[in-house]
């Protein structure tokens, strides 16, 4: 099982601009990459880090009779999913 951490940057506006900062095999490295990119972008972007396992398929939820549709991310404001470094630090204390 190979865990990967994907860092995604989101513009702090309604432009819905996002990009992948990088893919890392270490959570601390991924968080550090988001901190560096936050400084590089002058605070105009926020970053989230997601955890994935290489080549792992999602679990099939058997209770649904119809296929579950994917999330339409064009209808989601990425800022609702983004956290500042300070907010993330606060979450670690909970």
For 4-53, write each residue's pLDDT tens digit. 988 888 886 666 788 899 999 999 999 999 999 989 988 888 888 888 88
Contacts of 9 (CB under 8 A, 6+ apart): 18, 19, 20, 21, 34, 37, 41, 45, 46, 47
Domain layout of the chain by residue ranges: 3-58+74-92
Rounded-to-integer distance, Cα 92 and Cα 73, Å? 27
Contacts of 91 (CB under 8 A, 6+ apart): 83
The model's pTM: 0.57
Q: Between these two residues, 1 and 29, which has the higher pLDDT value?
A: 29
Rounded-to-integer distance, Cα 20 and Cα 35, Å? 14
């Amino acid at each position: 099982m190979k865990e990967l951490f994907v860092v995604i940057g989101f513009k702090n506006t309604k432009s819905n601009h996002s990009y992948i900062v990088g893919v890392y095999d270490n959570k601390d490295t991924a968080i550090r990459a988001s901190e560096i990119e936050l400084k590089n972008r002058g605070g105009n972007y926020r970053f989230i880090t997601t955890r994935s396992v290489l080549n792992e398929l999602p679990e099939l939820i058997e209770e649904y009779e119809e296929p579950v549709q994917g999330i339409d991310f064009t209808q989601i404001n990425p800022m609702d999913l983004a956290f500042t470094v300070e907010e993330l630090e606060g979450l670690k204390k909970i």
